A = this chain, B = another copy of it.
Amino acid sequence: MTVLELDETRAAVLHAPRDLRIERRPLPALGAGQVAVRIAAGGICGSDLHYYLHGGFGAVRLKQPMVLGHELAGTVAALGPGVENLAIGQKVAVNPSLPCGACRFCLAGMPQQCLDMRFFGSAMRMPHVQGGFADTIVCAAAQAVPIPDSVSLEQAAFAEPLAVCLHAVTRAGSIFGRRVLITGSGPIGLLLVIAARRAGASEILVTDIRDAPLRKALEVGADQVFNLAADPDALVPYAAAKGQIDVAFEASGSGAAILAALPVLRPQGVLVQVGQGGDVNLPISGLVGKEIELRGSFRFHPEFETAVRFIAEGLVDVKPLLSAVLPLERAVEAFDLAADKDRSVKVQLSFG
């Protein structure tokens, strides 16, 4: 067992929309069952961008300075008391989800709905839970999931957004042999393509309103792509005979995308809503007449370890999604690049 000597770390702290600062912050002492992880790679997520650009989303608003970041990988730097399953130097992906393990949802196998969740870099509770865009973080040992040395830490930092997509696929029931539509071709949409392919979708169609992300969708396994800005009627043929799509994953958070999916979903087809968004003016009679199912999907839990395994075993290839890696001191530049969907898919920060 090792005593952590570092007592502070650099971190990317958001003070207000577009006010992101690199600051030194004290590190807490290592408690029982905790470890320190030297972060190597941190992916910028859509929710990080929402905080950075708009100060939050929906009812979730930044109310105090918060370290951003929850797509993290690094190496174990120190072990708190009682930690036995990890060794210093071990490469790990960091699971940003820390449910209480005791509430009724944790005990019902729905820890992502924990009544006392502590999720890295989230302003949902006060005080906010600090994130992991930092040289070093402290987390529960159970959050540090080992990866083989053969896997790069950049890839390992994709475990979190991939887990979001694995959970969404699980929410759909089985998609094995099904024709799938994915609306929105950002990082989550693209990881959904990868996840749906891995889950045995028979055919994968992707829509977006830009060409660059759609080209990337083809690269990672989509069968057909449609730019609905260029051709708003591109999906019309799939509306024939009450609809040709078995399952849709909505990853844009756009009400228009939901409305475009309803006519092409077959009766009793399922739309899994992954993207956060505003309101959608949903036609009740459309939902009723074809008995469509609309299911929300939120975060993940057991799927994090599955995501790590899929990446480690080469069962998925996330490398094509990594557009750029910038050092922590260029975080503002990195966020601006991540916000530009014509120029980037996933942008990561590097540390230390």
Contact = CB atoms under 8 A, between A and B. Distances in A.
A291 B105 CA distance: 13
A290 interface: yes
Nearest to A281: B279
Contacts of A198: 176, 200
A293 B294 contact: yes
Contact of A267 (B110, B203, B223, B294): B110
Contact of A278 (B255, B284, B302): B284
B293 A284 contact: no
Interface stretch (A11-19, A38-46, A206-214, A268-276): A268-276
B57 A285 contact: yes
A284 B184 CA distance: 15
B290 A113 contact: yes
Given A101-B107, A202-B306, A306-B202, A170 B166 contact: no
Contacts of A298: 288-291
> Which of A253, A277, A288 has most B Cβ within 10 Å?
A288
Interface in A271-330: 273-285, 287-298, 302-303, 306, 309-310, 313, 315
A189 to B, nearest CB: 15
A115 B242 contact: yes
A161 interface: no
A186 interface: no
A9 to B, nearest CB: 31
B173 A166 contact: no
Contacts of A309: 202-203
Interface string A165-180: 0100111011011000
Contacts of A258: 284
A296 B306 contact: no
Interface string A70-91: 0000000000000000000000
A4 interface: no
26 contacts: A104-B241, A109-B109, A109-B110, A110-B267, A113-B291, A115-B241, A166-B176, A169-B176, A170-B176, A171-B291, A173-B174, A176-B176, A176-B200, A199-B200, A202-B309, A203-B309, A273-B284, A275-B288, A278-B283, A278-B284, A279-B284, A281-B281, A291-B296, A291-B298, A293-B295, A293-B296
Interface of A: 57-59, 101-102, 104-113, 115, 166, 169-171, 173-174, 176-177, 198-200, 202-203, 223, 241-242, 253, 255, 258, 267-268, 273-285, 287-298, 302-303, 306, 309-310, 313, 315
